[in-house]
Structure 1
Amino acid sequence: MSDGTLFSMDTPPTEARFQNRLWVADALDLTGAALVGWGAVRAAEWVSTPALLGFAMGVAWVVLSCMGGLTGLTPGRHALGLKLERAEGRAPGLGAGLLRALTAPVELVLQVVLQHRPLDAQLGVHAAAIPGGIRGWARSLPLPLVELVLLAGAVWSIVTPTRQEMLQYLDRTLTGWHCCHGTREATWQCRASLSRAVRNANGGDTEVSEFLRNECPVAATRIKP
């Protein structure tokens, strides 16, 4: 057996070389899109029904997949030093990105079972390392960074009480009454609700402002005159 034959047998094909890292990247991106969709619903102060959450998460995933098709990059891929490309080295394109929005979640399961990515192969795309080492990785950072900022904003919306949640907690629960009157040690929920109430009151929400002045002395001291 020649050295060339031995070398070719030991070297995995391009499509398989980074498939495990791409699996992790897809899982990260899918999770991030779900968080962005959830955060968008909460930021809009909509009632979080399963149908609305599913729709918002789906829209976020499709948008992320389209951006990944146009540029080859997503936050998950970039974090792992990968980009998605066709055999000739160019970005997959919008059409492949849209199709991959449907196939990538299925491929997460198929890869575990089959140990390869048949749907990506059908689309003619594969993962490759971002060229240029650390400098190349840094040059490709701006777009994933914008998406990460959106993700951070979504997480903030998720952990911050909505207006309805804040009023229900402070006005209709015993722990909220103690929170408003400072008779117990403040919990995270108490601090988050008070901060949200004060922001609303200082932002011109007259209903919240009136409630704080009349029923919540702890927060009333933080309202602008």
Structure 2
Amino acid sequence: MAVDLFIPCFVDQIFPHTAMNMVKVLEAVGCEVHYNANQTCCGQPAYNAGYKAEACTVARKFLHDFPAGASDRYVVSPSASCVGMVRNAYAELFEGTDDQPRYYGLQRRIFELTEFLVDVLGITEIPGSALTGQYTYHDSCSALRECGIKEAPRLLLDAVTGLERLEMAENETCCGFGGTFAVKFEAISVAMAQQKVEHALATGAQYIISTDTSCLMHLDAYIRRENKPIKTLHVADALASGW
């Protein structure tokens, strides 16, 4: 199956290794991966900050970067947050416009990595994946509430040789990042990160794994500052381990 990659600006600039590991995983299950180098951002930062006109400009470019064609290739991303933006917020941005039909076409084709593997391809194990240790899973707000992603990443991670899941308390509670929320409400944001990390540490796990690098970056900053004995890891990096 041929697929298009959507690498969010956040991943491209700060976590490019995660993008490459997603390519590694997709190719391992037989996908032919395509990448449009003209792609930039989905428009989420502007949209969440209330700049809807500016967000619409960026979103319109996104539609042109991933056009529907004869192949109608799936668009796969390592960020549930950005996938949620395209699926849901674009409905408001393009309502009643000439771009609305194009948006509906893209809405049906865009998937976060783990839901694409499990729900579209029917794959629940990446051959050769191996990572020794125990992990606890963080359900990001965007993955869980905007995309309905819960079981897919757990199924894939539980199949990684040597990796054991330990569920933490309140795993569906926000980590406190929220984009500009972390800047505007720093004290609350840090307190939420502290609570999340403490719940993770209580399990005894070595890793916090999630679908969103933004959440993981936020948690990792707190972990590093407080010198806590736990690491963060994106699901794509975990699935690409050991081979």
Q: TM-score range by the shorter chain?
A: under 0.3
What TM-score results when the alignment is normalised by the length of structure 2?
Answer: 0.25
What TM-score results when the alignment is normalised by the length of structure 1?
Answer: 0.27
Larger relative strand fraction:
2
Larger relative helix fraction:
1
